[in-house]
């Protein structure tokens, strides 16, 4: 299984790892079957994601997609972050092997879960804005 240089770089030197104390939104998605679990923390100021961190338990591709996803939404508006697709994450990483595509889906879902949590904490129903965020076991991995 060949990984791009960008995947290897984000795996070896992941960006934005850790937790945010007093985060405005926390999203956790994962799949007990394949073992990949992502937790994403966001800090929001005037609808802009000013900081984002993640903790991922999983394979190198899961770590790399989490890292790249955080880079792609940092400094962006919530609306822009919600438009980030797993395809865009994969393209930014110069591709993923087919069996690892589910990792990019998890990264997209982790962002949506964190934004959903952000709205819930403010007493706003997130579903009309974010859509339905699957909790787990829907990433399509083979696990």
The H-assigned helical ranges of the chain are: 5-12, 60-73, 78-83, 86-92, 101-121, 127-130
Catalytic residue among 34, 59, 136, 139: 34
Catalytic residue among 103, 136, 139, 141: 103
Please name the residues in contact with 100: beta carbons below 8 A apart, sequence gap of 6 or more. Answer: 1, 59, 61
103 belongs to the catalytic site: yes
141 belongs to the catalytic site: no
Active site residues: 34, 103
């Amino acid at each position: 299984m060949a990984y791009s240089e960008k995947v290897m770089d984000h795996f070896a030197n992941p960006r934005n790892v850790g937790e945010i104390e007093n985060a405005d939104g926390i999203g956790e998605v994962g799949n007990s079957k394949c073992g990949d679990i992502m937790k994403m923390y966001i800090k929001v100021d005037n609808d802009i994601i000013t900081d984002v961190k993640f903790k991922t338990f999983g394979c190198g591709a899961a770590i790399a997609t989490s890292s790249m996803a955080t880079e792609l939404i940092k400094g962006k508006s919530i609306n822009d972050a919600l438009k980030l697709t797993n395809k865009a994450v994969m393209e930014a990483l110069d591709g993923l092997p087919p069996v690892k595509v589910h990792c990019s889906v998890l990264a997209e879902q982790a962002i949506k879960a964190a934004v959903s949590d952000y709205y819930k904490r403010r007493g706003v129903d997130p579903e009309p804005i974010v859509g339905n965020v699957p909790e787990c076991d829907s990433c399509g991995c083979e696990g």
